Structure 1
Amino acid sequence: MRLAAFRLIGEPEGTRRVGLVVGDGPNWWLHPFPAGTDLVELLAADRDEREAAADGAARGDGLRPEQVRLLPPVYPVAMRDFLTFEAHVDGMERGHGNPGPPPEWYAAPSFLFMAPHAVTGPFDDVAIAPDTERFDYELEMAAIICRDVRNVDPAKARSAIGGYCVMNDWSARDVQGREMKLKLGPSKGKDFATTIGPWVVTADELDSCRDGDGFLDLKMTVRVNGEVTGSDRSGHMGWSFEHLVSYASRASWVKRGEVLASGTCGSGSLAEAWGRNGSLTPRPLRAGDVVEMTIERLGTIRNRVVAGTETVPEIVPARRRIREEV
């Protein structure tokens, strides 16, 4: 089952509806659920209840893509971005002069917290972040949490995952690099936009896509201006999503409405290519570029990069402390 958040073209900002997506490719229909339906609550419902709600929606009139604007499927209460693809870590480390992933990568599925208020819709324009000349995309897969868990093992963690979607973790690599020299961040290097969508595919729909170890194995592809620039499979993750939920829940709450992301897949970013090539090849993104990401069974997000138009305050350097000679 595919569930989308949307508003009708012409409706005011802030309007939010939930619909059932029916049909494949560009010829899909969107059948609205009753007003007030909450997408995360649908994900948390038992299968029979969710199917009954979907049957009711499907009996109503459907909307065509040109009649709606798809919104982020959820406005997350929190977001955690993991680092699970060994090939991506290898390429990034080589860009820093290292031979490959450090031993610490293999020890646990490390993650960073993201800015949940920065999510954008699956087909929205995305403005280039301030202060960057190395604007980048990151192809990722994300899970939507539908119930609160704490200290759960991977087997129990599965029931907390309501569904999956495509994610683009946009990055200002030069800003990120400055921040991480201080062993912090990235913060301003990533807090301006994260695209999720186009909808959520319920977890039960993907049970047939698991490999022998229980990992979801779906093809992942990114294109820039129609040209394939990276591809991988989600089955190459070092940990499954159930492992990610379990690790995040150690002595901590993972709450309904959170989004947990896989981290960038192999060849899923320009920075990885820069690390392997030793140069800014391919070039960083610029205004006018169209970035399209597709994950098998999950759909496609497509965003046009535009120039930033906001007036941002200047960065104030630190007040230097005058030290007295002892």
Structure 2
Amino acid sequence: MRISSYRGPDGAERVGIWQGGQLHRVPGASRLIDLLGDDGSRLRAAEMAAAREPGTDPAAVELLAPVPVPPSIRDFMAFEEHVVTSSVALGQPVDPLWYELPVFYFTNPAAVRGAHADVEIAPGSAALDYEIEVAAVIGRAGADLSPDEAVGHIAGFTLFCDWSNRDLQAAEMRVGLGPAKGKDSASSFGPWLVTTDEFEALASGRAYDVELTGSVNGVTYSSGNLADLYWSFGEMICYASRGTRLVPGDVIASGTVGTGCILELSRVHGADAYPYLGPGDRVRLEGGPLGAVDARIREGRPVIPFRPKQQW
């Protein structure tokens, strides 16, 4: 089942199920999160109800992120190739702790964008980057879950892009906090949520055989596979739920697939070959059954200083 949140011509937000290339509205549902929270019965009932509704041309609506304002977003760093390549390029060894803990940070739920929405460069930044990821959306609440239990709490998967302003990120992390402001301006995901049953036949490695690719202005930049995860989604969710409670709609993002960002590519192949993003650039990230994030980059707003001569 593929499920999208969208805004119709009247401005109202709705939930739709994809059938035959069209969106079929779920009657009475304005938020996907309201269809979560159980063993999947609500989603199955929604699919049956939507099948009785007329189809809508997706070109006539604005596709939103499947959960437009998630309760929380945890972004992990679960692909070994990205960690190793980035570390070597920076002249640093991989911290052994990475092999012991599936580490993550929290990012900004209020900065979520739909998969086809424009993305602004953050004020004061000259180094906007994309990061190709896959995210699990939590379907049932739970705490202190085992990896096996955690898998049963996933409603589905969605393509995720963590937009990163690398110069802001590098500056603020010198004090030992973050990433924060460098990751604060935008996260895009969608265009739909694919329920977990659709992935059973794709099981491979610690995840699924799903190709993840990225291009800028039609030029291929990135190519990887979700099956290359070092930390499984079950393990990530197990750690995320330790000592706390995950709730329906929480987003668990995988972190960047190998070659899946400009930071990694430019460190290895040079900044001339892989420059950071600028106004007018078009970024397209694809994930097979997960669809595509296709975003135009826009000029950022001017910096409003908080002190005279402030640089950032």
Same fold (TM over 0.5): yes
- Once residues 142 and 48 of structure 1 are traced to their aligned partners in structure 2, the CA distance between those partners, rounded to angstroms, is 22
> Which SS does the other structure have where 2:214 is aligned?
strand
> Where does residue 84 of structure 1 map in the other structure?
78
Residue identity over aligned pairs, in percent, reads 38
2:16 corresponds to 1:19: yes
> Which SS does the other structure have where 2:190 is aligned?
strand
Deviation at 1:49, TM superposition (A): 4.9
Aligned 8 A contact 1:40 1:162 in 2 = no
> Which SS does the other structure have where 1:17 is aligned?
strand
Aligned 8 A contact 2:37 2:141 in 1 = no
> Which runs of 4 or more aligned residues in structure 1 lie more than 4 Å from their structure 2 counterparts after TM superposition?
none
- Once residues 163 and 46 of structure 1 are traced to their aligned partners in structure 2, the CA distance between those partners, rounded to angstroms, is 12
- Once residues 91 and 34 of structure 1 are traced to their aligned partners in structure 2, the CA distance between those partners, rounded to angstroms, is 48
- Which letter does structure 2 place at the counterpart of 1:19? G
Map 1:176-215 to 2 at 5 A. Answer: 176-211=169-204, 213-215=205-207
- Once residues 27 and 232 of structure 2 are traced to their aligned partners in structure 1, the CA distance between those partners, rounded to angstroms, is 34
- Which letter does structure 2 place at the counterpart of 1:313? I
- Once residues 238 and 83 of structure 2 are traced to their aligned partners in structure 1, the CA distance between those partners, rounded to angstroms, is 22
> Where does residue 220 of structure 2 map in the other structure?
228
Of 246, 259, 284, the residue aligned with 2:238 is 246
> Where does residue 125 of structure 2 map in the other structure?
132
**Cα distance change of structure 1 residues 284 and 195 upon mapping to structure 2, 3 Å threshold:** same
> Where does residue 304 of structure 2 map in the other structure?
313
**Cα distance change of structure 1 residues 252 and 133 upon mapping to structure 2, 3 Å threshold:** same
Deviation at 1:285, TM superposition (A): 0.5
The answer to which of 250-259 and 276-285 deviates more is 276-285
- Which letter does structure 1 place at the counterpart of 2:248? R
Gaps of 5+ in 1: 320-326
- Once residues 278 and 309 of structure 2 are traced to their aligned partners in structure 1, the CA distance between those partners, rounded to angstroms, is 31
- Which letter does structure 2 place at the counterpart of 1:64? D
Question: In the TM superposition, what whole-angstrom CA distance separates every residue of 1:164-219 from its partner, at most 9, and x where no partner exists?
Answer: 101110011011001111111111101000001001001111111112x5522211
> Where does residue 324 of structure 1 map in the other structure?
none
> Where does residue 105 of structure 1 map in the other structure?
98
Aligned residues: 309
- Once residues 241 and 188 of structure 2 are traced to their aligned partners in structure 1, the CA distance between those partners, rounded to angstroms, is 25
Deviation at 1:317, TM superposition (A): 7.7
Please report the RMSD computed on the Cα atoms of aligned residues, expressed in angstroms.
1.9
Aligned 8 A contact 2:113 2:188 in 1 = yes
> Where does residue 277 of structure 1 map in the other structure?
269
Map 1:252-267 to 2 at 5 A. Answer: 252-267=244-259
Aligned 8 A contact 1:93 1:275 in 2 = no
Gaps of 5+ in 2: none
Task: Give the TM-score, by structure 2 length.
Answer: 0.94
Aligned 8 A contact 2:206 2:231 in 1 = no
- Once residues 195 and 109 of structure 2 are traced to their aligned partners in structure 1, the CA distance between those partners, rounded to angstroms, is 21
> Which SS does the other structure have where 1:302 is aligned?
strand
**Cα distance change of structure 1 residues 83 and 297 upon mapping to structure 2, 3 Å threshold:** same
> Which SS does the other structure have where 1:250 is aligned?
coil
Larger Rg: 1
> Which SS does the other structure have where 1:232 is aligned?
strand
Task: Give the TM-score, by structure 1 length.
Answer: 0.90
**Cα distance change of structure 1 residues 29 and 276 upon mapping to structure 2, 3 Å threshold:** same
